Structure 1
Amino acid sequence: MSDRELEARFGARNYAPLPVTIVRGEGVYLWDDRGRRYLDMMGAYSAVSFGHCHPRLVEALTAQARRLDTISRAYFSDRLGPFLARACELTGMDVALPMNSGAEAVETALKAARKWAYKVKGVPADRAEIIAAEGNFHGRTIAITGFSSVAQYRDGFGPFAPGFKLVRYGDAAALAAAITPNTAAFLVEPVQGEGGIVVPPQGYLAEVARICRANHVLLLADEVQCGLGRTGKLLACEHDGVAPDGLMLGKALGGGLLPVSLFLARREVMDVFKPGDHGSTFGGNPIAAAVGLAALDTLMEEGLVERAARLGAHLLRRLRAIDSPLIAEVRGLGLFAGVELHAQMASASAVARRLIEAGVLTKDTHRNTIRLAPPLIIDEDQIDWAVGRLAATLDRVASEDPPVEAPASA
């Protein structure tokens, strides 16, 4: 059997990969099993912000792996403290709690918010509410899928945990109307990634923060995809001058090498946790801490935040200059862009498959949108090349009758 056949035979069918087998990566490029090179315009959902196999990050991982691996949090390590201190210094948060995946960081935030509601705000036992936004994607655990507005993510997985409600994304007035005395927190992505690279109206987060403060409600920002320079600021919240009460980071925090995540918060929020309340065997392990610290230092020392701002503006200009009847809208912030196609004219999934032939790797997402989130090390010529291939592919698809369709992919 081929590698693909083995995966199809023995792997659960919870993904529908595009028809390409990747065997090597370096910088912004990937190579398949036939030796063909592709430009990576997806960046593993923002996890590969530093490019593939960044030498500094690989060295941090291998050096630490040779010295000490996992010891659990039963003991102190010499790696975790410096990592947490650097993360708090950069984000302005007081305390950080290390986990592994982004979903784990979100679950940690939910637990902290509920316990804060009972211990600090004075919400009656088991009455705390958490508000989230429609179109959200915060992970795939039972609790998180329970407040998803995507039918497929919920189908067959109920019953779901109570205590969550949804409001329209980008509508601060809807949030204000939904808050009750039992509201603990508002959980929101400053830019919705999986939802279609949706950027809220300017000033939305600032107004949301004001509403939360006025009602003694925590503002929890999920920046697992949009944080760490992706939007041209260290944190996407900074575009509105907002400092949240709690912050979730992940994906790029592991340098594309391993899962690393953090829930960071004000001390008042994090201090509700006592030893034994919450934890993770692998969260904050020495290898993860070494890589996380190297990732943060690399982000700052290589000027990747500023690079994302400059090259992101160039990417959006080039995308908006594409003259194609298939394009309904171009959205984005920094190196985080989405090209929404008219659903009746073309399938974003089909276009993503056709882009493989053109040497560009990306993936479709919700709202029939082509997602573009390349490594932050990409340069202007590489962006121009990728946009040129996208424009040519859209021209070819537009000339076909009927338009090429393809099944939606995960």
Structure 2
Amino acid sequence: MAEWYLFHGKGECKQELTEEEIAELRKKIKKIKSPPWRQFGKEEDFVTNNEKLSSETQTPENVDEIRFDKLIKLAKKKEREIKKGQNFRLSDSKEAIDVRDAVNAAIYLRRPLLVTGNPGSGKTSLAYAIAYELNLGPVLSWSITARSTLQEGLYRYDAIARLQDANNKESEEQTIGQYIKLGSLGTAFLPSYLPRVLLIDEIDKSDINLPNDLLNLLEEGQFEITELVRRSKDANKENIFGVQTQDENIDVCIKNGRVKCYAFPIIVMTSNGERDFPQAFKRRCLRVKMPDPNPPELEIIVKAHFGEELFNQKTEEINQLINHFVPLPGEAMDKATDQLLNAIYVITHEDSPQDQDKKQAIRDLLMKPLTESD
């Protein structure tokens, strides 16, 4: 059973593997066979015109390797994302095992994950843990608001900038692709042998129509850039357009204005349970709930964030805070894990107040129940 797992959720650092081990991990992920009903693009969808390669080595795999190597280097610069991945922990409780199973099943089945749970239970951090452990480059994040649209997630066409440049006689003429930037959603569906990790955060805050708008993309794994398709009317001619992506300083080429994924991205959609979703949307997702951590699991999380040394020095104080944080039997969890971490940091800090009444007041302030009105 252990060999089936690609993701373990133990904060294991796959970014420190040797080149041979990384190559073996990539090969294992690439070899995963999609279900017949979840197979998407073909190798011919890759654009192979890369100036770094000779005509003899212009293969989809070589071009994709170059882009992914850039992504890995980019990921190593994102220290906050790395720490989120390092500090994430899944225990061996039944609920945590369900999460681990759901992530791995989603990878094998090429299905998005819909992750629910209380605030601070680790829903968002799960995406960073997957990318960190599997060495899949930076997480593509799309934070949802009531005004978010599918178009915003896919790409943005800056028509005003193009018009300004056209009217400016001194500026050099730019191709239309220079005015198109793929959003996080659009970047995630670029053809690649390895899947990108996409976080669609707090999708329950979206307009009521967004989940239904996503259905076709989640089912077909492709979309069109209308402005480029209009310029690709000749079916006998390949039109290649260079466009910007959500990844810093990494541009890509798109063929005929159509983006088709090859490896379906690992999509983590988080929800605080503020609304229900259409059955058609839920049917296309694997649904799982992040468990609320118990005291032993909280100890593991605290050690991951603060280190064993501090925990051993301040064991009594930390355990008191953990016991205050955990709800009594029969009560619902009404605090977020980061509230506990905030309290531990302030109260165990070398400059923290020594007066016990003051410490208790700070504890109550920092761990105020989320259900309590201000």
TM-score between the two structures when normalised by the length of structure 1: 0.23
- More strand per residue: 1
Bigger-Rg structure (1/2): 2
The normalised TM-score by structure 2 is 0.25
